[in-house]
């Protein structure tokens, strides 16, 4: 049914989730189109954004988002944002007649990007002196006679390269859009950094969801869900390496209990590395990942780990590298941008304006027989030469598939794939089919296909002949405006296509094509089994007793690991009567 908007509520739990989320929302914001004359885009922004009204009568368009983070993590960002502020919110309106002592924290410095955004908000000019109209955040403007100057177009025009790499401390340092006052919730019980009161263990996170934290979550859920007409579900971004994994487990349980019929897609994110890590902390990270995975998988429609790290264990393989990207894996600012870009493509199917597949359908197709954990792969960007065509680009990959792991799950070498969803986004204006020259033999069956969708479908099926497959092709690309980091190879042109001659200066890449795959296969089972084995082989009471002191009973822990083992077992390929032999056969 077109015209029907199936809304999604997004939840961000944790700081790295905030990084991925901020890049994600910046990407969404960059694609918003305020011009009423242009045809509506392929993706429906109302799925993720909500229209609102301030007390002053101003229309706003903000993400339908609830974000949890710890005390001290906001720095320059006001908890309630400034979009809905009124003069009443100043320090002068008070209801106390006695003495007041003011403790004012000195404001942390805003980086140049945030300062420019502030200037735009106040209608000030940015560098260039010749633009006239003041920017607005109003989506429906009267009269399309002159181009609407928006924050995006201004930033694009100014084309400032904000080198934020060394300056970004927290996710609000590069957040481009305004959030709704009810979006951010700060958890005061734990500190964002420092020596004490850190949220490090699964048990701590679990214990958080009660009292005021639970009340806040329920209030905000209620607020955002109530105004939806056709809520399709929730996308949850949750840090799995720290104590937020426990909070995520309880939050997804709450969502499942209260909104059982909806889709709950949980993406467990983890950075490649943490600052000041230590062997004990690595151990904690691994335990949190394991427990978070099994519990959140239980309560969600599907659970997908997302990380550029080589593995979830203590001595992971080197981080994933992409042939056309050069990024610093230790910088959260960089790694989260790649994940956000991939996520923008992976989630396309339930955000389409026409013929969208609701979340639960996507999940149902991939999680048959209780195989709730899926893994993701991505080709960021998708390698395609300028003026080439899709069949050529795919053929150029030869036998290997062009994507790399995004879930710390190595590529399936041999073994069964139970189902997958493949999406290609961003080849707007490019040739999706091969121009057939009469009289010459087409180089491959791909070149005979009639549509881009068919090309892609054929290509994937040639690698996975008997796997159920869903394919999506979206032409409009993800738009990369500041402050998306410029991590692209210099041979890419501004549309993210490979140039035939290397240019003298590396152009600013403003959009890229991305190919992603969300898969359920035997490889997932191997990932889970390894994780479970590493965790079970530890004698926690001797090595890290403090992990258990945070409210998690040893018996519960053992049971969770047992559940993880059974979950891993479900991925065994028993078809054809032969059991795949693997080392897990001989454990315990």
Partner 1 sequence: MAAVKALNPKAEVARAQAALAVNISAARGLQDVLRSNLGPKGTMKMLVSGAGDIKLTKDGNVLLHEMQIQHPTASLIAKVATAQDDITGDGTTSNVLIIGELLKQADLYISEGLHPRIIAEGFEAAKDKALEVLEEVKVTKEMDRETLINVARTSLRTKVHAELADLLTEAVVDAVLAIKKPNEPIDLYMVEIMEMRHKTESDTQLIRGLVLDHGARHPDMKKRVEDAYILTCNVSLEYEKTEVNSGFFYKSADEREKLVKAERKFIEERVQKIIALKNKVCADNGKGFVVINQKGEEKYTYIEKCGNPRSVTLLIKGPNKHTLTQIKDAVRDGLRAVKNAIEDGSVIAGAGAFEVAVADALVKHKPKVKGRAQLGVQAFADALLIIPKVLAQNSGYDPQETLVKLQTEFKESGQLIGVELSTGVYL
Give contact residues for partner 1 (rule: CB under 8 A): 1, 52-55, 57, 71-72, 74-80, 86, 88-89, 91, 93-108, 181, 188-189, 191, 194-197, 211, 222-223, 226-227, 230, 261-263, 278, 280, 358, 360-361, 364, 368
Q: How far, rounded to the nearest angstrom, does the alpha carbon of residue 70 sit from its chain's CA centroid?
A: 20
> How far apart (Å, rounded) are the C-alpha atoms in residues 158 and 188?
39
Contact 526, 407 (CB under 8 A): no
Q: How far, rounded to the nearest angstrom, does the alpha carbon of residue 19 sit from its chain's CA centroid?
A: 9
- Least gap, CB of 364 to partner 1 (angstroms): 6
Q: Is 75 or 388 the residue whose CB approaches partner 1 more closely? A: 75
Q: Is 154 or 349 the residue whose CB approaches partner 1 more closely? A: 349
- Least gap, CB of 184 to partner 1 (angstroms): 10
350 contact partners, CB below 8 Å, separation of at least 6: 6, 8, 47, 232, 233, 263, 356, 357, 358, 359, 362
Backbone angles phi, psi at 245, to 5 degrees: -60, -35
Tokens of 497: 């296509």
- Least gap, CB of 543 to partner 1 (angstroms): 11
- The alpha-helical segments, DSSP class H, found in 147-191 are 151-158
- Least gap, CB of 279 to partner 1 (angstroms): 9
Q: Is 39 or 261 the residue whose CB approaches partner 1 more closely? A: 261
- Least gap, CB of 289 to partner 1 (angstroms): 22
Q: Is 3 or 439 the residue whose CB approaches partner 1 more closely? A: 3
Q: Is 157 or 274 the residue whose CB approaches partner 1 more closely? A: 274
Contact 231, 9 (CB under 8 A): yes
283 contact partners, CB below 8 Å, separation of at least 6: 314, 538, 543, 544, 547
Contact 201, 288 (CB under 8 A): yes
Q: Is 131 or 223 the residue whose CB approaches partner 1 more closely? A: 223
> How far apart (Å, rounded) are the C-alpha atoms in residues 409 and 268?
13
> How far apart (Å, rounded) are the C-alpha atoms in residues 410 and 327?
20
What does the angle CA 515 – CA 518 – CA 524 come to, to the nearest 5 degrees?
A: 135
Q: Is 445 or 545 the residue whose CB approaches partner 1 more closely? A: 545
Contact 448, 497 (CB under 8 A): no
- Least gap, CB of 110 to partner 1 (angstroms): 9
The region, left, alpha or beta by phi > 0 then psi within -120 to 50, assigned to residue 14 is left
Strand-pairing partners, residue 50, are: 62
Half-sphere exposure for 203 (CA within 13 Å, toward CB): 14
Q: Is 54 or 502 the residue whose CB approaches partner 1 more closely? A: 54
- Least gap, CB of 430 to partner 1 (angstroms): 29
- Neighbour count for residue 90 (Cβ, 10 Å): 9
Q: Is 404 or 570 the residue whose CB approaches partner 1 more closely? A: 570
> How far apart (Å, rounded) are the C-alpha atoms in residues 538 and 533?
9
- Of 276, 346, 274, the closest CA to residue 316 belongs to 274
Q: Is 98 or 465 the residue whose CB approaches partner 1 more closely? A: 98
> How far apart (Å, rounded) are the C-alpha atoms in residues 555 and 563?
12
Tokens of 346: 């992976």
> How far apart (Å, rounded) are the C-alpha atoms in residues 468 and 462?
13
Q: Is 79 or 463 the residue whose CB approaches partner 1 more closely? A: 79
How close are the terminal C-alpha atoms of the chain, in Å? 52
Q: Is 15 or 479 the residue whose CB approaches partner 1 more closely? A: 15
- Least gap, CB of 258 to partner 1 (angstroms): 12
- Least gap, CB of 71 to partner 1 (angstroms): 6
Contact 516, 376 (CB under 8 A): yes
- Least gap, CB of 183 to partner 1 (angstroms): 13
Q: Is 83 or 424 the residue whose CB approaches partner 1 more closely? A: 83
- Least gap, CB of 56 to partner 1 (angstroms): 8
> How far apart (Å, rounded) are the C-alpha atoms in residues 290 and 276?
22
- Least gap, CB of 254 to partner 1 (angstroms): 17
Q: Is 359 exposed, middle or buried (0-12, 13-18, 19+ CB in 10 A)?
A: buried
- Least gap, CB of 179 to partner 1 (angstroms): 12
- Least gap, CB of 119 to partner 1 (angstroms): 17
Pairing of strands 233-239, 263-269: parallel
Q: Is 175 or 294 the residue whose CB approaches partner 1 more closely? A: 175
């Amino acid at each position: 049914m077109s015209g029907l908007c199936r809304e999604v509520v997004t939840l961000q739990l944790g700081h790295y989730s905030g990084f991925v989320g901020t890049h994600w929302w910046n990407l969404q914001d960059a694609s918003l189109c305020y011009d009423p004359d242009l045809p509506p885009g392929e993706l429906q922004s109302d799925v993720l954004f909500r229209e609102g009204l301030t007390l002053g009568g101003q229309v706003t368009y903000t993400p339908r988002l609830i974000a949890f983070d710890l005390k001290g993590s906001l720095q320059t960002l006001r908890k309630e944002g400034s979009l809905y502020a009124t003069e009443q919110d100043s320090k002068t309106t008070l209801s106390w007649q006695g003495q007041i002592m003011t403790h004012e924290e000195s404001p942390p410095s805003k980086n140049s990007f945030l300062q420019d955004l502030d200037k735009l908000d106040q209608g000030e000019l940015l560098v260039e002196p010749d633009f006239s109209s003041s920017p607005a955040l109003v989506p429906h403007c009267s009269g399309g006679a002159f181009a609407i100057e928006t924050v995006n177009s201004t930033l694009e025009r100014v084309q400032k390269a904000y080198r934020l790499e060394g300056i970004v401390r927290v996710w609000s340092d590069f957040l481009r859009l305004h959030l709704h006052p009810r979006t951010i919730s700060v958890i005061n019980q734990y500190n964002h950094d420092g020596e004490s009161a850190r949220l490090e263990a699964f048990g701590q996170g679990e214990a958080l969801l009660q009292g005021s934290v639970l009340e806040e979550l329920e209030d905000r859920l209620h607020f955002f869900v109530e105004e939806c007409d056709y809520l399709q579900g929730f996308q949850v971004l949750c840090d799995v390496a720290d104590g937020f994994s426990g909070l995520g487990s309880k939050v997804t349980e709450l969502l499942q209990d209260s909104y059982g019929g909806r889709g709950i897609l949980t993406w467990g994110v983890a950075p490649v590395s943490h600052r000041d890590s230590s062997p004990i902390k690595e151990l904690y990270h691994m335990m949190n990942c394991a427990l978070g995975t099994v519990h959140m998988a239980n309560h969600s429609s599907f659970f997908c780990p997302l990380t550029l790290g080589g593995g979830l264990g203590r001595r992971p393989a080197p981080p994933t590298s992409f042939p056309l990207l050069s990024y610093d894996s230790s910088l959260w600012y960089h790694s989260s941008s790649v994940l956000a870009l991939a996520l923008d493509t992976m989630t396309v199917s339930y955000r389409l304006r026409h013929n969208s597949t609701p979340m639960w359908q996507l999940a149902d197709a991939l999680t048959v027989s209780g195989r709730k954990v899926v893994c993701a792969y991505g080709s960021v960007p998708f390698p395609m030469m300028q003026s080439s065509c899709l069949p050529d680009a795919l053929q150029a990959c030869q036998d290997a598939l062009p994507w790399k792991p995004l879930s710390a799950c190595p590529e399936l070498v041999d073994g069964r794939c139970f189902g997958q969803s493949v999406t290609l986004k961003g080849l707007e204006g490019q040739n999706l089919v091969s121009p057939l020259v009469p009289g010459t033999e087409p180089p491959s069956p791909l070149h005979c296909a009639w549509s881009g969708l068919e090309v892609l479908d054929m290509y994937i099926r040639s690698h996975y002949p008997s796997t159920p497959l869903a394919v999506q092709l979206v032409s409009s690309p993800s738009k990369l405006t500041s402050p998306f980091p410029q991590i692209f190879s210099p041979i890419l042109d501004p549309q993210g296509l490979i140039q035939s001659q290397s240019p003298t200066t590396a152009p600013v890449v403003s959009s890229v094509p991305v190919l992603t795959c969300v898969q359920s296969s035997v490889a997932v089972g191997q990932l889970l089994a390894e994780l479970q084995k590493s965790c079970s082989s530890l004698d926690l009471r001797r090595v890290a007793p403090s992990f258990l002191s945070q409210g998690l009973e040893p018996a519960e822990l053992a049971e969770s690991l047992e559940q993880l083992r059974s979950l891993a077992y479900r991925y065994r390929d028993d078809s054809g009567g032969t059991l795949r032999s693997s080392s897990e056969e001989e454990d315990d």
